[in-house]
Amino acid sequence: AQSVTQPDIHITVSEGASLELRCNYSYGATPYLFWYVQSPGQGLQLLLKYFSGDTLVQGIKGFEAEFKRSQSSFNLRKPSVHWSDAAEYFCAVGDGYGQNFVFGPGTRLSVLP
């Protein structure tokens, strides 16, 4: 069974600074990887996903993520953070066929003005 770890529980950055949120997964085959964002009172929204091909994936809201098989990582990045990016971010891994879609524990992002 797959698993996901997000080593950082809470990250604080200043507005305009760059951001990297870490995600490590465990899965025996080629994983399907996702990043979701959850803002207070709102449902989870998909930021980006990786299935195959180019290991650098572009998403919505200026986010990107890079799949590194050798490190079992799928870190999320943004070059310049906006105050509206403050939210909870979840990395998830799926096997693509059944229900085995596993979320990490999340990283809460705070943005300082």
Site for another protein in 3-42 (CB under 8 A): 4, 9, 32, 36, 41-42
Size of the site for another protein (CB under 8 A): 27
> Least Å distance between CB 43 and another protein?
4
The answer to whether the beta carbons of residues 103 and 90 sit under 8 Å apart is: yes
**Site for another protein (CB under 8 A): which residue of 26, 45, 55, 110?**
45
Cβ atoms of 78 and 85 within 8 Å: the answer is yes
Quick check: 60 binds another protein (CB under 8 A)?
A: no
- Residue 34: C-alpha distances to residues 6, 17, 43, 73, 83 (Å): 13, 23, 15, 12, 23
Contact 66, 56 (CB under 8 A): yes
Nearer to another protein, 14 or 42 (CB): 42
CA distance 102 to 113: 33
Residue from 26, 101, 110, 112 touching another protein (CB under 8 A): that is 101
Does 110 sit near another protein (CB under 8 A)?
no
By the criterion CB under 8 A, which residues form the site for another protein?
A: 4, 9, 32, 36, 41-46, 49, 51, 90, 92, 94-106
